[in-house]
């Protein structure tokens, strides 16, 4: 039986960075109204050079937020419950923007990425999670431990990968409940942290991205959004399974 809880405490962020287009400033107001209706996010805010649409009257409490500027667009989702929702909503936003002639059907993309951060609650102790992470995921050699002449009290696993044309930056480590509040500050996160009886969690952070520096149409962008969003969800589940049992 898995020692990990089914509680979903996470944050997903999609962002695309494109060649700056100052003329988009002329369309912030009109597009904000249209995007709000398109993605079903009722509330909006326009600040200098940026438009946000979100799902709560208080933007600080929003569990979903889409945004665009003259050189970026993105979507943030707090506590995603399945692997399909986030890529689908991110794609809705990009389909809307690329449908606008003023935005362009094939913008020059400097960076496209998805980042997922998870707190995987664990039913056993901090030391047990630390030990299983050391045994199965990442561990210094005995020679390294001998140099320090002590025992390992904590461990983290920053690992970076090249995967085809994509890159992954990842990090993981065991955390105690209050430590999580340094990494998950959103009120929806804090509500879960305060109400969860378990005091131990595996923190897992994966940033999956490309830096194409080339023009991309909506079909190419869709491929990467689906790939990165789906793979981040899968990798977190696979790491949980690796450390279970």
C-alpha to C-alpha distance for 15 and 158, rounded to whole angstroms: 22
Strand, coil or helix: what is 93? Answer: helix
Tell me which H or E stretch contains 171. Answer: strand 166-176
C-alpha to C-alpha distance for 56 and 35, rounded to whole angstroms: 16
Residue 245 pLDDT exceeds 90: no
Whether 115 is covered by a domain: the verdict is yes
Give the pLDDT confidence score for residue 15 in this predicted structure.
Answer: 98
Q: Give the global pTM.
A: 0.94
Averaged pLDDT score across all residues of the chain: 94
How does residue 1 score in pLDDT terms, banded at 50, 70 and 90?
A: very low
Can you tell me the mean pLDDT for 8-17?
97
Cross-strand bridge partners of residue 180: none
Give percent of the chain above pLDDT 90: 87
Whether 13 is covered by a domain: the verdict is yes
| Residues contacting residue 65 through CB under 8 Å, at least 6 positions apart | 41, 52, 53, 54, 55, 59, 75, 76
Tokens of 241: 């399974």
Going 85 to 87 to 90 to 92, the CA torsion angle's sign is negative
200-231: pLDDT as tens digits? 999 999 999 999 999 999 999 999 999 999 99
Range of the domain at 136: 9-243
Give the pLDDT confidence score for residue 177 in this predicted structure.
Answer: 84
Whether 3 is covered by a domain: the verdict is no
C-alpha to C-alpha distance for 206 and 209, rounded to whole angstroms: 10
Tokens of 91: 């794609």
Whether 4 is covered by a domain: the verdict is no
80-104: pLDDT as tens digits? 999 999 999 999 999 999 999 999 9
Give the pLDDT confidence score for residue 152 in this predicted structure.
Answer: 87
Whether 1 is covered by a domain: the verdict is no
- The answer to whether 9 touches 192, Cβ cutoff 8 Å, is yes
Strand, coil or helix: what is 146? Answer: helix
192 or 177, higher pLDDT: 192
Can you tell me the mean pLDDT for 151-176?
94
Compute φ and ψ for 223, nearest 5 degrees: -60, -45
112-141: pLDDT as tens digits? 999 999 999 999 999 999 999 999 998 888
Whether 2 is covered by a domain: the verdict is no
C-alpha to C-alpha distance for 97 and 182, rounded to whole angstroms: 34
- Give me the number of domains the chain comprises: 1
Tokens of 76: 């943030």
Helices (H) and strands (E) in the chain, counts: 7, 10
Pairing state between β 72-78 and 9-18: antiparallel
Give the pLDDT confidence score for residue 140 in this predicted structure.
Answer: 83
C-alpha to C-alpha distance for 137 and 7, rounded to whole angstroms: 22
What is the chain's alpha carbon radius of gyration, rounded to the nearest angstrom?
20
Of 206, 128, 141, nearest to 174 by C-alpha is 128
Residue 2 pLDDT exceeds 80: no
């Amino acid at each position: 039986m898995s020692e990990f809880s089914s509680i979903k405490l996470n944050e997903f962020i999609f962002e695309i960075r494109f060649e700056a287009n100052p003329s988009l400033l002329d369309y912030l107001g009109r597009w904000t109204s249209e995007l709000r209706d398109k993605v079903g996010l009722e509330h909006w805010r326009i600040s200098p050079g940026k438009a946000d649409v979100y799902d709560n009257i208080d933007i600080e409490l929003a569990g979903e937020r889409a945004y665009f500027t003259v050189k970026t667009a993105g979507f943030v989702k707090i506590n995603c419950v399945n692997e399909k929702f986030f890529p689908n909503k991110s794609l809705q936003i990009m389909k809307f923007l690329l449908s606008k002639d003023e935005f362009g059907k094939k913008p020059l993309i400097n960076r496209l990425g998805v980042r997922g951060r998870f707190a995987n609650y664990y039913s056993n102790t901090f030391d047990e999670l630390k030990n299983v992470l050391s045994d199965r995921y990442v561990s210094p050699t005995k020679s390294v431990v001998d140099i320090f002449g002590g025992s390992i009290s904590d461990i983290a696993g920053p690992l970076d990968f090249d995967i085809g044309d994509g890159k992954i930056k990842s990090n993981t480590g065991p955390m105690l409940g209050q430590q999580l509040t340094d990494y998950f500050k959103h009120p929806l996160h804090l509500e879960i942290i305060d109400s969860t009886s378990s005091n131990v969690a595996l923190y897992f952070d994966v940033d999956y991205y490309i830096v194409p520096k080339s023009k991309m149409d909506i079909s190419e962008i869709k491929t990467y959004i689906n790939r990165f969003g789906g793979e981040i969800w899968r990798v977190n589940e696979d790491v949980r399974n690796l450390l279970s049992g």
